Structure 1
Amino acid sequence: MKLATSLKKDSPVPIDYMIKCLTSAFTHRQLTLSFLGGACLLIAMLADLYEGSLWQFVALSSYVLSYVIGGFYKAREGVTDLLNERAFNVEILMILAALGAASIGYWNEGAILIFIFSLSGALETYTWDKSKKDLSKLVEMAPLEANKWLNDGRTMTVSVEDLAIGDTILIRSGERVPADGKVIRGETVIDEAPITGETLSVSKQEGDDVYTGTMNGSGPIMVEVMKENADTLFQKMIKLVEQAKESRPPTQLFIEKIEGPYVIAVLLGMIIMLVLPPLAFNAPFQETFYKAMVFLVVASPCAVVASIMPALLSAISNGARRGILMKGGTYLEQLSKTAVVAFDKTGTITEGKPKVTNWFCSLPEDITPYVIALEQQSNHPLAKAIVTFCEKNGTHQQVTISSSQDMTGFGIVGSIGQDQWAIGNYKLMTSLEKEKETVLTEELTELTNKWESEGKTLVYIARNTQIIGLLAIKDAIREDAQELVNYLENQGLQTIMITGDQETTAQAIAKEAGVSDWISSCLPADKVKKITQLKETYGPIIMVGDGVNDAPAMAKADIGIAMGCGTDVAIDTADMVLMKSELEKIAFSYQLSKKLNRIITQNLIFSVFVIIALLITNFTQGLSLPIGVLGHEGSTILVILNGLRLLRF
């Protein structure tokens, strides 16, 4: 599916979600008390329609109950903050306004205030609980017990906490995997949706990795435990989601910082309104008191406070369901504010499955056994590709290596018999001949120019400092990389590829992928320096990589995005992790970030506008408390519902 058609448009305000909230009231204590308080309010309003002392008693009792029941949670929250943290909050303002209205006989208005305020607070708590419910479902997927395979062929049920690295466990069909491990016997298909967010099952056979919480589908398998329970990928995912939900973006922190002083300012304003008009203008005290209570209500920043976190939590939950994990809401908020995206080449722009496409050797003898022996000492992806090629096309001969040294970013050198061998890039070759310039033969020069222009990575083979061979390796461009680059370019972002390849090769790959710029001949140690330079040139930057050899560069970038492939290394190093390495999820995350910031901006502008409009109306024309309550708390409910749209984006 193309990115242009796969990204959803703006969703309508979820009225059906509001209905769902209401119908679930009896399973949510705060909502239940809010509706019970509303029921008491309704009874009181009906009783007010009738005359007589009995009906007056019923009305007053119902009003008191609506105050106590509906206002319980908010009053407790306000008093707790006041006593424990010596901090004023909006709950104090609302409770004071309601009690103030009741003190001058406006029980009805105070009860309406309590009901709508408690309802909006319950909906906000419901949003928080909804996001936590997604995490609870995730936690419930992790088995508590495992079938440990004993030496005598029996199985014993043990706690996952008691499993040790090296233990063998039996996982039957329909059971969830209780530990991260490697399949040592059997074949099956595994539902990895809890890890990657993908609904399609994945085939597993001997040697494949399996992860805690995933579902075994078609057959029993024996698995060797590779990690203790606390270190499993699943547990790290849970910690990551918890961390994201507890974090506060800068905008929210600023609002929380000024909430206390703002509330104090409102209280001072109320006192001035109570004292000044009767003394200076001889205004009736009851009328002044009523206006002061209205001022307390409409000046309260409830909607402003609720403008960010419900939207942010909804966005985080949405991303987590799709296999997009982030260490905090800050990164999601900043994602669409960046100016440039830097990509590591291998495994990000390319598929990460390099293959040898061309081979040249200037000697008549077969040197593949020596190449195999040396490259087997390295764990670099290119080394594995070279070994695979040589084993398939060369002769099988046992070769003993005296010593070897892996030169990160250059290649590998080693001693075989009396000869010194080196396999790596041109920089490695030049380092071997420090006294004189390394010179390629005419044939090698021609092949170098030709294969580099085709976007291939070149690996030279030298014996005793003399270059005797050349390999060309090609890693196919990912189709979704080209789509993502086009999308980001259309959004006005600068795209840059960082690679250790030579200039000609890097240029060819960048052109094929559609990347607007590239940095060639970049060693892993140089990536941090390059990221720093890019930040100075362009501003905020995103770094996309595999989370392993580019971890320092990710840490230096404003946002590091790791192509997870289900690896815990990626979770440890990046700010955002794509549990399944699908680049289109970066585009979705970018759209989600734009939508989040747009909704937060809408909420803040709308909530501030409502406060200003209500304040002006109260001072110029007079405002009844019920209208003030409806306008103020109605705006709070609307901004919460607006934020909930991100659950369905």
Structure 2
Amino acid sequence: MNTLFKDNKPMVATVISGLLITIGLFFTFADYHTIAALIYISSFIIGGFHQAKEGLQDTIQNKKLNVDILMVLAALGASAIGYWMEGALLIFIFSLSGSLEVYATNKSTKAITELMNLTPERAMLIQSDGSIKEVPTASLSIGDKLMVAKGTSIPIDSVLLSANGLIDESAISGESIPSEKIAGEEVIGGTINLEEAITIQVSKDSSDTLFAKILRMVDEAHSTPSKTATMIEAIENKYVLTVLVFVPLMIAVFYFMLNWGWNESFYRGMVLLTVASPCALVASAAPATLSAISNSARKGILFKGGSYLENFGQIRAIIFDKTGTLTEGKPVVTESYFKSGEDEQAIINVCVAMEKTSTHPIARAIVTAFSETSHHNFVVDNMKDLTGHGLSGSAYDSVWKIGKEDYAVAENESDFINNAEILQKEGKTVIYVSKDDQVVAYFGLLDAPKDEAKKMVDYFKSQGVHTVMLTGDNAATAVTVGNIVGVDDVKANCLPDEKAEIIKSLEIEYGSIAMVGDGINDAPALANASIGIAMGAGTDIAMDVADVVLMKNDLAQLAYSYQLSNRLKKITIQNIIFAISVILILIVSNLFQVITLPLGVVGHEGSTILVILNGLRLLKSSSASLDTKEK
């Protein structure tokens, strides 16, 4: 309840207005009509001041009419013929709907406030003499050295100077497991240092940090309405003008043609002015869109505008980059072959001992694959590193080599390596291990698809969305990964400019399409797609040109975004149909003199409140479902 009134002055005025109406009713029933009228006028002024002020400012500054003007005129008209209570009630309920819209906006922008609170305003600067001084974070410059105490937030994007650190990056990645960092690695502002105090060096200006970019993205999204909201806003001025012309004409028809009498004709005109107002229609899209954008922001999905969220559910094709998007972005050992009769444990010991001296991704993959079964204290002598080819060393009274075929395989090699050709045709990297120039083992490595990649691709295919993988990698590797994840089409050996041309051709074929990528080479394609989606762990340029950023690097967020977009569309259509239906029913009821002004107010403004509340349902998060049966 506190959130309903906090930072919401219109709601406070609305409550006071409602209390005054209650008091006025008491005096009305006690036959103190003059006192009651004064109380109703007070309620009128207090409850309607904010809406009337906004309406007049909008009319004067933007030279356009809005629904606030209609409501104020209707209330003034009702009061002019002695319907003080009806006028005050109209203003009260209209003010209530406006206050709820302010609440909806405040609620939906809460994501920005929560993000802003993650980055501390002060930082501990290490000065040239080694002393520490507390300074504003905004005053920091690139190259400044900072101390971050245990349990405190890192104030700005920096590079770790300490030997190691344990950082809680859940606010960025969504991962509950802390990230282990070593000297030279990047640490992000707003994440939390979990271990002892660390030293960092500022690497980015405060306006260029990841959190600064996130805040700008969310802020831009809230200020960029959806196409539906823009369309409704565009017709509002013409609609209001039409009502202002139509109401006097109808009063004339009631009075001169139907002979209803002046008071009744004018009263019916005021009811018509109230019920024909497009309040509910105007509120059909904007609160729902803001709620959906905030929902996605809490999930780490940043849409740069309401139109991108609204249109995402309408895509007919989705294109994926391979490396780092569908795949993990690093090779893993998928197959291993050991020659019969050889000591498998000895081979593993030698491989791990040799490869752990290298930082090459392939070396790390082999160490990761066999480290649990190797003898960690084993040492290989006479180690040599032939860059681009492999490693050699002595162990078990033999000379060992590990690397590419032309380095480790002798010309007279046996049939043992026949399967290696199959692995190569599948696009896998093959690493050979030889002992005294005889191959004793070889491994197939592949940049393996992410665990959720196939389910995500299957989900979009089940929704009738064509799936394509676009990559600069060779055709064999691309086809292998494409078959594993199940995409409809694979396009390989693509340069950045070629990716952009393919995106343009796909857009012509399918209409609305989305492109998902993470690298600099994906930037042209992301910029040319109907909706460009960047993975949060990708490059800054990919994030800058994209329309959507997945901060958690989780492909399931694509399904969530698609489902959220369809929820937004469904709720917006519900609101529009409901709003128009209520307006038509109330107008017809007024023509037949069935409803009174209070009932018209309740029906009309009640419908406005209902569409706002219906839009607020999009604030509620739901689990990202990859159920292929969902439609």
Pair in the same fold by TM > 0.5: yes
Report matched runs for 1:155-166 at 5 Å.
155-166=132-143
Deviation of 1:192 (Å): 2.3
Q: Do 1:356 and 1:385's aligned partners in 2 also have CA atoms closer than 8 Å?
A: no
Candidates 12, 15, 26, aligned match of 1:32: 12
Distance 1:346 1:270 in 2: 63
Q: 1:323 matched to which residue of 2?
A: 300
Q: Deviations over 1:448-498 (max 9, x none)?
A: 962344342699xxxxxxxxxx99751111111011112112222111111
TM-score normalised per structure 2: 0.82
Q: Give the alignment's TM-score, normalised by structure 1.
A: 0.80
- C-alpha contact 2:64 2:237 (8 A) present in aligned 1: yes
> Which amino acid in 1 is paired with 2:193?
N
Distance 1:567 1:580 in 2: 14
Q: What residue is the counterpart of 1:345 in the other structure? A: 322
Q: How does 1:281-296 map to 2 (within 5 A)?
A: 281-296=258-273
Distance change in 2, residues 1:357/1:67 (3 Å): closer
Matched, 1:42 2:14: no
Aligned-residue offset at 1:148? 1.3
Alignment match of 2:48 (pick from 71, 92, 100): 71
1:116 aligns with 2:104: no
Counterpart position of 1:506: 478
The answer on 1:527 being equivalent to 2:499 is yes
Find the counterpart in structure 2 of residue 584 from structure 1.
556
Structure 1 residues 352-363: aligned runs within 5 Å: 352-354=329-331
| Residue 293 of structure 1, CA deviation | 0.4
**Structure 2 residue 467 is the aligned partner of structure 1 residue 495:** yes
How many Å separate the matches in 2 of 1:309 and 1:648? 16
Superposition pairs of residues 208-357 of structure 1, within 5 angstroms: 208-354=185-331
What secondary structure, in the 3-state scheme, does the structure 1 residue paired with 2:449 have?
coil
- Cα distance, 1:200–1:473 mapped onto 2, change above 3 Å: closer
* Equivalent residue for 2:154, pick from 157, 177, 183: 177
Q: Where do 5+ consecutive residues of structure 2 fail to align?
A: 337-358, 368-378, 389-403, 405-414, 432-441, 622-631
- The answer (yes or no) to whether the contact 1:26–1:32 under 8 Å persists in 2 is no
**Alpha-carbon spacing, 1:199–1:633, altered in 2? closer, same or farther (3 Å):** farther
Letter in 2 for 1:217: L
1:575 aligns to 2:547 (yes or no): yes
Contact 2:318 2:465 in 1 (8 A): yes
Amino acid at match of 1:559: I
* 1:154 paired residue number: 131
Secondary structure of 2:452's counterpart equals helix
Contact 1:180 1:233 in 2 (8 A): yes
State the one-letter code of the partner of 1:123.
L
Q: What's the secondary structure of 1:178's corresponding residue?
A: coil
1:179: how far off? 1.2
Give me the whole-angstrom Cα distance separating, in 2, the residues matched to 1:282 and 1:339. 59
- Cα distance between partner residues in 1 of 2:386 and 2:556: 46
User: Could you give the per-residue CA deviations for residues 353-373 of structure 1, whole angstroms, max 9, x where no partner exists?
Assistant: 0258899xxxxxxxxxxxxxx
User: What is the CA–CA distance in structure 1 between the aligned matches of 2:581 and 2:113, rounded to whole Å?
Assistant: 37
Q: Shift of residue 388 of structure 1?
A: 6.5
User: Does the 8 A contact of 2:427 with 2:475 survive in 1?
Assistant: no
Moved more, 26-35 or 554-563: 26-35
- Give the structure 1 partner of residue 73 of structure 2: 96
1:552 paired to 2:524: yes
Q: Contact 1:236/1:568 (CA < 8 Å) preserved in 2?
A: no
Structure 1 residues 36 and 207: alpha-carbon distance in aligned structure 2, compared to 1, 3 A threshold: same
- 1:128-207 → structure 2 map (5 Å cutoff): 128-207=105-184
RMSD over equivalenced CA pairs, Å: 3.2
What whole-Å deviation, never above 9, does each CA across 1:38-69 have from its counterpart, x for those lacking one?
Answer: 00011111111112xxx223211110111000
CA gap 1:93/1:580 in 2 versus in 1, 3 angstroms? same
Give, in whole Å, the separation in 2 of the partners of 1:486 and 1:507.
Answer: 17
Aligned AA for 1:396? K
**Distance in 2 (alpha carbons) for counterparts of 1:105 and 1:309:** 36
Asked if 2 retains the 8 angstrom alpha-carbon contact of 1:489 and 1:495, the reply is yes
**Identity percentage of aligned residues:** 43
Matched with 2:578 is 606
Pair 547,326 (structure 1): closer, same or farther in 2 beyond 3 Å: farther
Closer/same/farther in 2, CA of residues 134 and 333 from structure 1, 3 Å limit: same
Secondary structure at 1:143 match in 2: coil
Which amino acid in the other structure matches residue 611 of structure 1?
I
Q: Provide, for residues 395-450 of structure 1, a one-character-per-residue CA deviation record: whole Å limited to 9, x for no partner.
A: 635889xxxxxxxxxxxxxxxxxxxxxxx9xxxxxxxxxxxxxxxxxx9x988962
Q: Say how many residue pairs are matched.
A: 558
Q: Measure the CA separation in 1 of the matches of 2:34 and 2:176.
A: 60
Partner SS for 1:496? strand
Distance 1:399 1:343, change over 3 A: closer
Q: For residue 465 of structure 1, what is the aligned residue in structure 2? A: none
Q: Is there any run of 5+ residues in structure 1 with no aligned partner, and where?
A: 1-19, 360-382, 401-423, 425-442, 460-469
Structure 1 runs (4+) deviating above 4 angstroms are: 197-200, 355-359, 386-395, 397-400, 445-449, 470-473
Q: Which amino acid aligns with 2:566?
A: K
Between the aligned partners of 1:179 and 1:450, the Cα distance in structure 2 is: 49
Whether the 8 Å CA contact 1:179–1:229 is kept in 2: the answer is yes
Distance 2:321 2:385 in 1: 37
CA drift at 1:127: 0.9
Over residues 198-237 of structure 1, what are the superposed CA-to-partner deviations in whole Å (9 max), with x where a residue is unaligned? 4443333323321112222222111111111111111111
> Could you tell me how far apart the structure 1 residues matched to 2:569 and 2:267 are?
38
Counterpart of 2:9 in structure 1: which amino acid?
R
* Larger displacement relative to structure 2 (492-501 or 235-244): 492-501
Residue 38 of structure 2 corresponds to 61
Going from structure 1 to structure 2, the CA distance change for 1:390 and 1:588 (only over 3 Å counts) comes to closer
Deviation at 1:82, TM superposition (A): 1.9
Quick check: 1:196–1:322 contact (8 Å CA) kept in 2? no
Measured in 2, the distance between the counterparts of 1:64 and 1:199 equals 57
Q: Give the partner amino acid of 2:524.
A: P
